[in-house]
Chain A
Amino acid sequence: MIRRLGAGLAVLWAAATASYVALLLAPGDTVDILIGDGADTPEIRAGIIAEWGLDRPEIVQYLAYLWRLLHGDLGRSYQLQRGVGEVLAGQIGPTVQLTLAAAATGVALAAVIAIGTAGRGRWPRAAASAAELVSVSVPPFLIGIVLLSVFSFTLGWFPVSGAEGPAALVLPALALGLPIAGVLGQVLRGGLERALEQPFAVTARARGLTERALVARHALRHALLPAVTMAGWFTGALLGGAVITEVLFGRPGLGQVAMQAVTSQDMPVVMAVVLLSAVVYVTISTLLDLAYRVIDPRIRS
C-alpha cells in the first residue's frame, strides 16, 4: 500500500515537472503574454518581472513552483488575472456532473450489453463485437452530432446547448458514455463468458442455481477483474472526451476553460488542467487497486 502511494506521488511529481517543462518550451516572452494589449513601458515590464519572479534562475522558479503546488497554489492565469485555483473551482462543477453521469451511463450500458449477450450464442456476440468496433471507430464528437441532430433538432426533446437543468445533461452524458459502454461491455462480456466456462460454474449449476443467479452471484465478480484493469483507459476517455463534449454542447466546464487557455496560450491554466487530470487518474487508479483487493481476495496476501 505504501509502495502504491509512493508510485502515485512519483507520477504526480513527474506530471508537475512535465508541465513546468512545457511552460519553458512555450514560445513567446512571458512578459509579452502578460502585457497583452495593455500599456507597455519599461517600468511596467520591470514591475511584471518582479511580481512574477521572472528574473530568478529557472531552477529556483521551478522549486518555487513545486513549493506553491504543495500548498495548493496553482499560480495565476495570464489572461484572466485571477488565481488558477479559483478559475478551476468555479468551473469544476459542470464537468464533474458530466463525467459522473457519463461514467454511470457507460458502466450501466456495459453491464446490460455484457449480461444480455454473454453465453447467448453467435448473434448477440456478433452484435456486441460490432458495438465495440463502432465505439472505438467513431470520433466522440460525431456521436454527439448525431444525438444533437436527432433528439434536439428533429425531435426537440432536449436543449441544444447549455447546462441548465437535468435535461441538458442527458445528451452530453450519452455522447461521452456510449463509446465507453461499447469497449467496457466487450471486456465484461469476455470475462463473463470465460467465467461461465469455469468448473465453479458447472458446480453451481449442478447445485441447481439458475443461470441468472449464477451470473449475479458468481460470474460477475470474475468478469469485473479484467474490466477494472481498463480503468486508466476509462479515465482518459472521460477526461479527454469531456473537452470535446463541452465544446460541442456549449456546456461550461473545465474543458471549455482548457480550450480557451490553449487558444490564448494561457499556460498556467493549461498546466493546471493537465495536473488535475493526473491527480484524478492517480486517485482513481489507487482506489481501483483497492477495489481489486476487495473483488479478488487471492491478491490480498
Chain B
Amino acid sequence: MPPTSRDAVRPAVRPAGWSAVPLWWLVPGAFLAVLALAVAVPGLLAAADPLAADPVDALAPPGAAHWFGSDHLGRDVLARVVHGARHSISIGVAATGLAVTAGVLLGLAAGLSPTWLDEALARTFDVLSTLPELLLALLVVAITGPGTVNVIFAIAVAQIPTYARVIRAQTFVVRRSGYVEQAVTFGRSRLAINTGHVLPNVLGPIPVLATIGLGQAVIASSGLSFLGMGPQPPAAEWGAMLSEARNYLRVAWWEALFPGLAITLTVVCLTVVGRRLQRRFEGRTP
C-alpha cells in the first residue's frame, strides 16, 4: 500500500502496515453492507431458489448460468451462499446477543455482590473459560440435542464467561469512581445508582468486544454445523454447505470454495472493524 496523506500527519510511533490505510475501513464496511443486504433481502442478490434441485445440472462449474457453479444436487451455489447468510449471520447475532446480555447481567451481579458470592461467580467464570469453547458448546448440544436454537444457546453459553469477566472488572472500577461516590452522598437509592450510573458506564467495552465476538460466533456456528449439529439439510447454512461439499472436493472445488470464502470474509471484516474500533476508543492495540 502506498503511504497516504493521513500517514504523514500521524506520529511515527503509530503502527504501520494494513492498519494505517483508510481503505481498510471502506472495504470491510462495504462487504458488511452487502452481507446485511443478503440477510435482509436475499432475493435481490440471487434470483435462483437456493433449495431447487436440478439433477441434470448437477456439479456444473461456474459459468453464465450459475456464477458460482452448482452443487451435487444441481442447486445454485450463489443462491445458497446468499441465502445462507441469513442462517449463519442470524445464529451468530442471536448467540452474541444472548451471550452479551447474560454476560453483562452476571458480571454486574458478581461485581455488585458481597465478596463471597462474587468469589463464587468469578471462580465459575474462570472454570468455564478454562474449557475449550467448542467442547463446552458440544457439552450443551449433548444435553439439548442438535438444531438451530440449541446451537445458538450452546455458543452463547460458551461465550458468556468472556463478557462476564470483562463486565465484572469494569464494575469494580466504576463502583470506586468519584461520580458513584457522589451519587451515594446525595442519597440516591442503590437501584438508581446501579441502573443510572453503574450499568451505562460498564458497557463501554461491549460494542467492540461484541463485534469481534460476533465473528468468533460465526466461526463457532459454522464449526458446529459442519459437525452436523446446526440447521439440518437441506437448509443453506455455510458450515453445513461445507460439510456436504467435502464429499465432492475432487470434482467440484467451487461447492466448497464459495461458502468457505463467505465465512472467512465475514469474520475478517468483523475482526478488522472490531479492532479498528478498539484502537479508536481505547487507544491501544489488542
A residues apposed to B, CB below 8 Å = 10-11, 14-15, 18-19, 22, 25-27, 122, 125-126, 129-130, 133-134, 136-142, 145-146, 148-149, 153, 232, 235-237, 239-241, 243-244, 247-248, 258-259, 261-263, 265, 267, 270-271, 273-274, 277-278, 281-282, 285
Query: Given known contacts A138-B267, A236-B131, A274-B131, what 5 new A-B pairs fall within 8 Å (CB)?
Result: A22-B139, A137-B215, A138-B264, A140-B223, A145-B256
B149 within 8 A of A: no
Q: Give every chain B residue within 8 A of A237 (Cβ-Cβ).
A: 132
Q: How far is the CA of A134 from the CA of B268 in the complex (A)?
A: 7
A277: which of B131, B249, B267 is its contact (CB, 8 Å)? Answer: B131
- Of A11, A130, A236, A261, the contact of B126 (CB 8 Å cutoff): A11
Contact indicator B135/A258 (Cβ below 8 Å): yes
28 A-B pairs within 8 Å (CB atoms) are namely A11-B126, A19-B139, A26-B142, A122-B17, A126-B16, A126-B17, A129-B19, A134-B264, A137-B267, A138-B267, A139-B219, A139-B222, A145-B245, A149-B253, A149-B256, A232-B130, A236-B132, A236-B133, A240-B134, A240-B135, A243-B227, A263-B228, A265-B145, A267-B142, A273-B135, A274-B136, A277-B132, A281-B131
Instruction: Mark out the residues of chain B between 126 and 153 whose CB falls within 8 Å of any chain A CB in the assembled complex.
Output: 126-136, 138-139, 141-145
The answer to whether A262 and B17 have CB atoms under 8 Å apart is no
- With known contacts A244-B227, A274-B135, A125–B143 Cβ distance under 8 A: no
Do B239 and A11 touch (CB < 8 A)?
Answer: no
Asked if B74 lies at the interface with its beta carbon under 8 angstroms from chain A, I say no
- Which B residues are CB-close (under 8 A) to A153? 249-250
> Which of A130, A139, A262, A281 makes the CB contact (< 8 A) with B130?
A281
Structural contact, A125 and B17, CB atoms closer than 8 A: yes
B interface residues, Cβ below 8 angstroms from A: 15-19, 123-124, 126-136, 138-139, 141-145, 215, 219, 222-223, 226-229, 239, 242, 245-246, 249-250, 253, 256, 260, 263-264, 267-268, 271-272
**Residues of A with C-beta under 8 A to B127:** 11, 14-15, 18, 278
Of B128, B134, B228, B242, chain A has the most CB atoms within 10 Å of the CB of: B134
- Is B16 a contact partner of A240 (Cβ separation < 8 A)? no
User: Are A259 and B227 interface neighbours, CB within 8 A?
Assistant: yes
Which chain B residues border A271 with CB–CB below 8 Å?
139
**CB atoms of B242 and A133 under 8 A apart:** no
Cβ of B158 to closest chain A Cβ, rounded Å: 10
The answer to whether A141 touches B242, judged by C-beta atoms less than 8 angstroms apart, is: yes
CB distance from A233 to the nearest CB of B (A): 9
- B223: chain A residues at CB < 8 Å are 139-141, 244
A141 neighbours in B (Cβ, 8 Å): 223, 226, 242
Q: Bound state CA distance, A149 and B248, in angstroms?
A: 10
Residues of B within 8 A of A130 (CB): 18
Main secondary structure of the interface of A (DSSP, over half): helix
CA distance A15 to B127 in the complex (A): 7
Contact of A14 among B123, B144, B215 (CB under 8 A): B123
Residues of B within 8 A of A137 (CB): 215, 219, 264, 267-268, 271
- Once the chains are docked, how many angstroms separate the CA of A173 from the CA of B143? 30
Most B-side CB within 10 Å, residue of A235, A263, A282? A263
- Give CA–CA (A236, B17) in the complex, Å: 30
How many A-B contacts are there with CB distance less than 8 Å?
A: 142
Given A137-B215, A140-B223, A244-B223: A270 and B142 within 8 A (CB)?
yes
Q: Which residue of B lies closest to A127 (CB)?
A: B17
Question: In the complex, which residues of chain A have a beta carbon less than 8 angstroms from the beta carbon of B245?
Answer: 145
Closest residue of chain A to B138, judged by CB?
Answer: A262
Which interface residue of A126, A139, A140, A271 has the most chain B CB atoms within 10 A?
A: A139
B135 to A129, Cβ gap below 8 A? no
* Contact assessment for A274 and B139 in the assembled complex, using a CB-CB cutoff below 8 Å: yes
Which residues of A are found within 8 Å of B135, using beta-carbon distances? Answer: 239-240, 243, 258, 273-274, 277
Assess whether A243 is in contact with B143, with CB atoms less than 8 Å apart: no
Give Cα A262 to B230, complex, Å. Answer: 13
* The one of B19, B124, B138 that contacts A270, using a Cβ cutoff of 8 Å: B138
Q: Is the CB of B143 within 8 A of A22?
A: yes
Expressed in whole angstroms, the Cα–Cα distance for A263 and B141 within the complex equals 9
Query: Across the interface, which residues of A come within 8 angstroms of B143, CB to CB?
Result: 22, 25-27
CB contacts (< 8 Å) of A125 on chain B: these are 15-17
Query: Do A14 and B124 touch across chains, with their CB atoms under 8 A apart?
Result: yes
Q: How far is the CA of A282 from the CA of B126 in the complex (A)?
A: 12
Q: Is the CB of A243 within 8 A of B249?
A: no
Q: Please give me the residue from chain A that is nearest to B140 by CB atom.
A: A22
> CB-nearest residue of chain B relative to A275?
B131
A18 / chain B contacts, CB cutoff of 8 Å = 127-128
Which residue of chain A lies nearest to B245 when distances are taken between CB atoms in the complex? A145
Report yes or no: B264 in contact with A145, Cβ–Cβ below 8 A: no
Residue in B closest to A28 when the chains form the complex, CB atoms: B145
- Residues in B whose Cβ lies below 8 Å from that of A25: 143
A248–B246 touching, CB < 8 Å: yes
Q: Decide: B132 and A122 in contact? CB cutoff 8 A.
A: no
Alpha-carbon distance between A247 and B224 when the two chains are bound, in angstroms = 12
